[in-house]
Amino acid sequence: MSELLRTCERGILRVTLNRPEKRNALSRAVLRELKAVFLAHAELPDLRLAVLGGAGDVAFCAGGDLNDLAEIRSPEDTEAFAAEATAALDAIRFFPVPTIAALNGIALGGGAELALACDMRIAAAHARIGFIHATLNISTAWGGGADLMRLAGYGRAIELLATARTLSAEEARALGIFNRVAAPGATFIEFVDAFLDPMEERLPAVMRALKAQAVGERLARPVLERRPGDQERFVATWASPAHWAIADQVLK
């Protein structure tokens, strides 16, 4: 039985971790399924956005499922697991359209890494995020440490990683980790839909072009190396009938 819910309507892929009784913790099976779902939808031509959330109103994702991961003890098994988990998050990081983590509650440890694998993060007022790995005497390994340093700056990121402090939604927003935070008492589904609404009007080709630029930035590719691809995508969108259908209206 799948522990992910997924729908794909009006150009939006919605994926929900559906383990509320375990605070949507990440087992190896869930990580494999996350990778498979995002890879399976990557080539859909009408896709604009992907939204990743968690079932319930307590947790987006509480991290790795320690019961499931308890047998991973040797360096060899640990290395294989880290590679598998990183590949799952990379399927989200490098998904060809923008991705949004909708944090309905806590995101801790591996759950924080999962949230930062997305391009944007929006959160309920009671949501919290914490890179709490150090409390278990481990470091980040799924790419989340680098993501945090990119968003918050390496000085703040090292502080957060070393102290394992859990941030409130407003603290995370102030640091640039969260894009938006819902007002207290707001209906979270309505808040998410309102955030998505203006982006739903964008053409899939435009959203793919924007995401390609984001991937280049995330991978720290040199600007001159990225420029030909950026220009090729601009030419394709500029020369499209969809662009001129709007531009000609402006010219009248």
pLDDT for 168-187, tens place per residue?
A: 999 999 999 999 999 999 99
Q: Encoding tokens for residue 184?
A: 């207290």
Q: Whole-structure pTM over 0.75, yes or no?
A: yes
Residue listed under structure tokens 């009671």 = 126
Output the CA angle 51-1-71, nearest 5 degrees: 90
pLDDT of residue 1: 62
Rounded mean pLDDT of the chain? 95
Q: Predicted confidence band at 39 (pLDDT cuts at 50, 70, 90)? A: very high
pLDDT for 95-134, tens place per residue?
A: 999 999 999 999 999 999 999 999 999 999 999 999 999 9
pLDDT for 124-147, tens place per residue?
A: 999 999 999 999 999 998 999 999
DSSP string covering 206-241, please?
A: HHHHHHHHHHHHHTT--HHHHHHHHHHHHHHHHTSH
C-alpha–C-alpha distance, residues 180 and 63, integer Å? 22
CB 115 within 8 A of CB 103: yes
Q: Predicted confidence band at 193 (pLDDT cuts at 50, 70, 90)? A: very high
Cα Rg, the chain, nearest whole Å: 19
Question: Left (φ > 0), alpha (ψ -120 to 50) or beta: where does 130 sit?
Answer: beta
pLDDT of residue 81: 95
Q: What is the H or E stretch that residue 16 is in?
A: strand 12-17
Residue 159: partners with Cβ closer than 8 Å, 6 or more residues away: 165
Q: Which CATH architecture has domain 4-200?
A: Alpha-Beta Complex (3.90)
